[in-house]
Chains A and B, each alone.
Chain A
Amino acid sequence: MSEIYKTDTLIAEDIDKYLEIHQHKTMLRFITCGSVDDGKSTLIGRLLFDSKMIFEDQLATLEADSKRSGTQGEEIDFALLVDGLAAEREQGITIDVAYRFFATEKRKFIVADTPGHEQYTRNMVTGASTADLAVILIDARKGVLTQTRRHSYLAHLVGIKNIVLAVNKMDLIDYDQGKYDAIVADYRAFAQSIGITEFTAIPISGLAGDNITTRSANTPWHDGPVLLEHLETVELNQTVEQDKPFRMAVQWVNRPNLDFRGFSGTIATGTVKVGDDVRVLPSGKTSRIARIVTMDGDLSEAVAGQAVTLCLADEIDCSRGQLLCAAQSPVEVADQFEATVIWMDEVEMTPGRAYWLKLGPQTVSATVAQPKYQVNVNTMEQLAAKTLDLNAIGVANITVDRDIPFAPYTDSRDLGGFILIDKMTNRTVGAGLIHFSLRRAQNIHRQATDISREHHAELKNQAPMVLWMTGLSGSGKSTIANLVEKKLARMNRHTFLLDGDNVRHGLNKDLGFTDADRVENIRRVGEVARLMTDAGLIVITAFISPFRSERDMVRGMMQPGEFIEVFVDTPLEEAEKRDVKGLYAKARAGELKNFTGIDSPYEPPEAPQIRIDTTKMSAEEAAELIVAKLIP
């Protein structure tokens, strides 16, 4: 507390001097994690209170709230100060990350108060992703719990190097050194098993204030730092980042006029000076730094963490998403990686489905393979997994649709940490930490052939395309597809009909009807259709293909304009009434699982090129309409 009073005096007596000191403070971002009753909110409340970040009116509100809904009787319930959402106050739990701010003489602090419950793991990871340090709280009466292990694992996973083990509620075990030492030894054994080599243990009491801001007389045996002292002096990640080679991803190309072309971004790692040689990735072109531009004047050098605009000596191609690197030590470029994936959405991950992968300013299309394993975050066991559910963490291979520059996550959070975005809902559904690129991506190159796809098409005297029929089972896709092919054949067009049932007898006979298998089914058919268009054919497909994202994935595989989506629109009641193959009856009887329309969804196309309403026209009329549109 003494330091804070000292500050007060300085503010009152020499404000200019105070501002001068405050201006040169550094900033530490940390998270606090612990389970419901470990006293996390009380600790933060105490830090805010002791550093005078709680004002009188807030205190008045707090006192009133404490009496109404607090858990501390007549005492102030600091937890109410940090639980900000109505739902949180009602349930007495922390759901989302809350950011709090306080400052001491040496540093400014941003605390992310993260929830402890397993079902809010994604929120804890959000808070941890920007933190330099984690305070892991333990209730001294309970010792190392499952939650302690999970929180430590997650903090270590997202790359937090500084771990503080705060053994709280020491007052409730009479400041017993023996018990404290046993807890620390217990934690050390666990920490080492997951790769945490160092941590700082501190015996504290959030409620009584022991070893928070001042050394407690109750723990004379503690020779380590007190909490605040440690937070004020621990080395910052930022200075570590400066020692690495220079890397900056281009966020925005700054072009106010024809004479100025600058590349704006935040330096991820390293230092850059005017005159340095740089390489642009993935193109590999090189140039030299001509200027480091800021509104406060040009700089001669800039460091990791600064937002700058760089001008190059040469007019080389460079746009958003490209990476500027030190020319002598560029990063790797690849399109396949192994990564740890943290799933964050209520809808489980679908292996093989295309998601947007956002790595800094680069956004590419990506698929996640079936996980190699999932980690049980409570026991650290590796489990076999077909997919990843909400809050699940696993290791899987990722394939993206073009080469991207990256760095392993352990080298750089900016260049190795990505998010996955659902293409339909636009939600952030997952996060990934890149381990390394896969060899096969580096060693398989495309073989150039002399007879081009244009040549193939010319020989057949036609424009290749894929006519993609989608609709419910029994909607009439196969019947119409067959008629269309017959008509085209009569017109001397070279066609091929890929039918869902036929493909499942051969190429895809290893696949079932789960969501993941349906995605793989469509992916393979898409690849086959693409090869056929390369051969110059008009491909007609008849697959239920229930998911928009997979149809979009196939569209993305084809040359622009060669994918024609035909929606064979038959209402469920009508298809079920026809029930040509007797499948709906079986599905209703529960004998067929995952049947589209019954217990598996169908997502109709939003803007199909051709829509066939089978309740209004016959199969013959439908086929005529399609052919007329294709060959005007």
Chain B
Amino acid sequence: MTQTNLTHLQRLEAEAMHIMREVVAQAENPVMLYSVGKDSACMLHLAKKAFYPSPPPFPLLHVDTTWKFKAMYAMRETAARDAGMQLLVHQNPDALRQGINPFDHGGLHTDMWKTEGLKQALDLHGFDAAFGGARRDEEKSRAKERIFSFRTASHRWDPKSQRPELWRNYNAHKTKGESMRVFPLSNWTELDIWQYIHLENIEIVPLYYAAARPTVERDGMLLMVDDDRFPLRDGEEPVMRSVRFRTLGCYPLTGAVESEAKTLPEIIQEMLLTTTSERQGRAIDHDQAASMEKKKQEGYF
């Protein structure tokens, strides 16, 4: 018999599909968190594959902060429609009322819009399993998180009492009120994601490709002035630079890199030759070494 050596991407793809099918079979009310970024795009594509010819049997949930890039909002609607899935959008009403924003409120912005917003949305709809696109290569505490990550009724993660996770045998048992966060892309790297997007022709937000965009340099980061809510400091003047984004979040918190990469191979080339990690573009991790672990314990994805 001739042997077929599956490639690493084929094996990662099969693993992600297997995980998604386990969740759908075991959970009562699953949802897929959809952040509109490249990892979400990849995860959504894998969901379509896992359940084909059925549409993925769960809705997409976007926990919105009102501060995402305009291009991301445009992408969100088409992606859900193309997949034949329902799109749920949640904006934390408290944050909305108090006008929480990344310019004036620092860490509170992430806490209220994202951490609290996510918890509210999960409680509101009674979701007992939520897919997230996090990868273990992103950050040190993520590297130690299980694929099926158990959360208490108050959404807390306890890194010291994680369930042993053997083979592809995932325990999704839980009592009422408790939930699972499930990470089908756990074993993917940034390069795997890009290569898969390239191979599978997955549509991503154009912000990942280099283009001339209005930017200002602030605190060592290049920020894009995406709309007129961006308060310019004295002497700041938006300058058109050819930039792209390696990761997408709230536009005032996401640093751009100067680049000429206009195709996926060029992006991958740049990434491979670059000397800084992907999360460096995000303000959220810079506080302290264990900041992500702390945020995750509190319920952040």
Contact = CB atoms under 8 A, between A and B. Distances in A.
A82 B21 CA distance: 31
Contact of A251 (B6, B18, B171, B191): B18
Given A12-B273, A122-B164, A266-B18, A85 B6 contact: no
Contact of A129 (B10, B21, B167, B171): B167
Contacts of B289: 61, 65, 89
B168 interface: yes
Contacts of A95: 160
Interface stretch (A218-226, A235-243, A566-574): A235-243
B226 interface: no
B167 A125 contact: no
Given A12-B269, A65-B289, A107-B8, A129 B160 contact: no
B242 to A, nearest CB: 19
B164 A58 contact: no
Interface string A78-94: 00011111110100000
B199 A23 contact: yes
A295 B187 contact: no
Given A23-B7, A101-B136, A238-B5, A256 B54 contact: yes
A307 B169 contact: no
Residue among A25, A85, A293, A431 with max Cβ neighbours from chain B (10 Å): A85
A306 B14 contact: yes
Contacts of A58: 277
A242 B294 CA distance: 43
Contact of A85 (B11, B159, B167, B191): B159
A217 B290 CA distance: 41
A581 interface: no
B174 A26 contact: no
A256 B167 contact: no
Contacts of B160: 85, 87, 95
Nearest to B137: A101
Nearest to B269: A15
Given A358-B169, A413-B167, A96 B144 contact: yes
Given A309-B52, A344-B164, A239 B3 contact: yes
Interface string A131-148: 000000000000000000
Interface stretch (A331-339, A417-425, A517-525, A595-603): A417-425
A123 B89 CA distance: 38
Contacts of B7: 23-27
A264 B50 CA distance: 8
A55 B293 contact: no
A254 B54 contact: yes
A101 B189 contact: yes
Interface residues of B, number: 74
A305 B167 contact: no
A239 B293 CA distance: 38
A417 B167 contact: yes
A82 to B, nearest CB: 8
Nearest to B292: A84
Given A242-B1, A427-B163, A99 B143 contact: yes
Contacts, number: 208
A8 interface: yes
B49 interface: yes
B4 A252 contact: no
Contacts of B18: 251, 266, 307
B108 interface: no
Interface in A235-262: 236, 238-239, 242-243, 251-252, 254-256, 260, 262
Given A11-B269, A12-B269, A99-B187, A255 B54 contact: yes
A426 B137 contact: no
B173 A251 contact: no
Contact of B10 (A55, A57, A306, A358): A306
Given A303-B4, A419-B166, A15 B265 contact: yes
A103 interface: yes
B171 A57 contact: no
A264 B21 contact: yes
Residue among B21, B178, B198, B280 with max Cβ neighbours from chain A (10 Å): B21
Contact of B8 (A8, A26, A55, A97): A26
A78 B172 CA distance: 35
B166 A126 contact: yes
B13 interface: yes
B192 to A, nearest CB: 8
B212 interface: no
B268 interface: yes
Nearest to B200: A296
Contacts of B144: 84-85, 96-99
Contacts of A254: 51, 53-54
A276 B8 CA distance: 27
Given A8-B273, A15-B268, A99-B143, A295 B169 contact: no
A86 B140 CA distance: 10
Contacts of A11: 269, 272-273
A413 B7 CA distance: 21
A293 B136 contact: no
B17 interface: yes
A256 B187 contact: no
Given A98-B144, A256-B53, A55 B273 contact: no
Contact of B143 (A100, A125, A251, A265): A100
Interface in B280-296: 280, 289-290, 293-294
Contacts of A293: 52-53
B162 interface: yes
A427 B142 CA distance: 21
Contacts of B273: 8, 11-12
Nearest to A305: B6
A252 B12 CA distance: 19
Interface in B178-233: 178, 186-187, 189, 191-192, 195, 198-199
Nearest to B9: A23
A239 B4 CA distance: 7
A85 B8 contact: no
Contacts of A306: 6, 10, 14
A500 to B, nearest CB: 30
Contacts of B94: none
B123 interface: no
A271 B268 CA distance: 34
Contact of A305 (B14, B52, B137, B191): B14
A296 B266 CA distance: 26
Contact of B169 (A12, A296, A417): A417
Nearest to B267: A15
A356 interface: yes
B274 interface: yes
Contacts of A309: 52
B101 to A, nearest CB: 27
B173 A356 contact: yes
A65 B140 CA distance: 13
A190 to B, nearest CB: 26
B171 to A, nearest CB: 5
Contacts of B12: 27
8 contacts: A18-B269, A18-B272, A23-B7, A23-B195, A83-B140, A85-B160, A271-B1, A303-B6
Interface of A: 8, 11-12, 15-16, 18-19, 22-27, 55-58, 61, 65, 81-87, 89, 95-101, 103, 107-108, 110, 122-123, 125-126, 129-130, 236, 238-239, 242-243, 251-252, 254-256, 260, 262, 264-266, 271, 293-296, 303, 305-307, 309, 320, 344, 356, 358-361, 413-414, 417-419, 421, 426-428, 431
Given A55-B280, A251-B22, 6 more contacts: A25-B7, A89-B289, A99-B143, A266-B14, A305-B10, A419-B171
Interface of B: 1, 3-15, 17-18, 21-22, 24-25, 48-55, 136-137, 139-144, 159-160, 162-169, 171, 173-175, 178, 186-187, 189, 191-192, 195, 198-199, 265-266, 268-269, 272-277, 280, 289-290, 293-294
